[in-house]
Amino acid sequence: MAFILDTIIAHKQRELAVKQQAFPLAALQQMPAFKRTCFSLKQALLQPSSSGIIAEHKRKSPSKGYFASTRTLEQIVTGYAQHGAAALSILTDMAFFGGSAEDLMMARAQVSIPLLRKDFIIDPYQVYEAKALGADVILLIAECLDKKTIQSLSALAHELGLEVLMEVHSREQIDKWCADVDLIGINNRDLRTFEVHLNRSFELVPCAPPGTPVIAESGIHDPQIIASLRQSGCKGFLIGERFMHQPDPVEAFRSFIVQLQQTATHA
Ligand SMILES: O=P(O)(O)OC[C@@H](O)[C@@H](O)c1c[nH]c2ccccc12
């Protein structure tokens, strides 16, 4: 059986071919958000007062199916921002995560904090699209890109004023790809097997170049773990399911933040 990541990328290539025909690059460049000045996620995470939490809007996942939330995207993103999220991650992949370009546009219309476009970016078209939809940061996943593509997609992102979050799974990938990225994401979930190992963030954060904020991604359920991750050097914490699998993700987020503050006070 093919690994899910390979299936996702093959599907993305087909989807892109259709999209580029239907909505050419010139049309993206005409969209109002294309000209906006982006917010900096790097700067946001380096603020000492930042919660560091990047709360993710995710409708479903390949391993868990649809999440049960009864709230609308607008309610969720507004609530997350109001209760102290440092930034938001918006899944735009439709086939495997149930998101859409509209999700990102709707989020942009609601909040004034950095937005990460969470998708499987393999082509320059998607970088232009991220800017046109109102994103501030794009995700590049080391696991599914080669060196030349990473370099050219990063250069284009920077030209458009976007930041790049480089997602890695190993020390080798940090050494190879992360010398001059804006942000490093350590995914605790193996995108090939879906296994989650929180240890990965603890192990890899010391390998990151100094000055580049590191974000621990996936499988974070306990506010206590954030204090330890922070102590080991992580500046950001990307959290999706912990909130999205609750009927009311905003209330789940709010009480998580309260617990986080209590943990910090007692530390
Ligand atoms: O829902 P979780 O376990 O809190 O994880 C969020 C986020 O890290 C995860 O959705 C993710 C990390 N990297 C990705 C790449 C593509 C799709 C999804 C992801």
Q: Which residues contact 68 (CB under 8 A, 6 or more apart)?
A: 245, 246, 247
Q: What does each C-alpha distance from 135 to 209, 218, 219, 224 come to in angstroms? A: 25, 21, 24, 30
The predicted structure's pLDDT at residue 69: 86
Which range marks the domain in which residue 44 is found?
4-266
Distance CA 198, CA 92 (A): 25
**By C-alpha distance, which of 147, 117, 153 is closest to 41?**
117
The predicted structure's pLDDT at residue 3: 75
**By C-alpha distance, which of 213, 264, 177 is closest to 54?**
213
Closest residue by Cα to atom 16, ligand 1, is 119
Q: Taking a C-beta distance cutoff of 8 angstroms, is the pair 157, 166 a contact?
A: no
Any alpha helices (H) in the chain, and if so which ranges?
A: 4-22, 25-29, 41-46, 73-82, 101-110, 124-133, 147-159, 171-177, 199-204, 223-231, 241-244, 249-266
**Candidate of 59, 238, 253 to mutate for ligand 1, largest count of ligand atoms within 8 Å of Cβ:** 238
Tokens of 80: 């997350």
CATH number of the domain at 151, please.
Answer: 3.20.20.70
Complex ipTM: 0.98
Q: Regarding beta strands 60-61 and 65-66, do their DSSP bridges make them parallel or antiparallel, or are they unpaired?
A: antiparallel
**Candidate of 80, 94, 97, 118 to mutate for ligand 1, largest count of ligand atoms within 8 Å of Cβ:** 118
The predicted structure's pLDDT at residue 45: 98
The predicted structure's pLDDT at residue 193: 81
The predicted structure's pLDDT at residue 1: 40
Give ∠ CA 8-14-17 in degrees, rounded to 5.
Answer: 135
Encode the chain (267 residues) as per-residue pLDDT tens digits. Answer: 457 889 999 999 999 999 999 999 999 999 999 999 999 999 999 999 999 999 999 999 998 899 988 899 999 999 999 999 999 999 999 999 999 999 999 999 999 999 999 999 999 999 999 999 999 999 999 999 999 999 999 999 999 999 999 999 999 999 998 887 999 999 999 887 889 999 999 999 999 999 999 999 999 999 999 999 999 999 999 999 999 999 999 999 999 999 999 987 766
Number of domains in the chain: 1
CA of 70 to the centre of ligand 1 (A): 21
CA of 30 to the centre of ligand 1 (A): 31
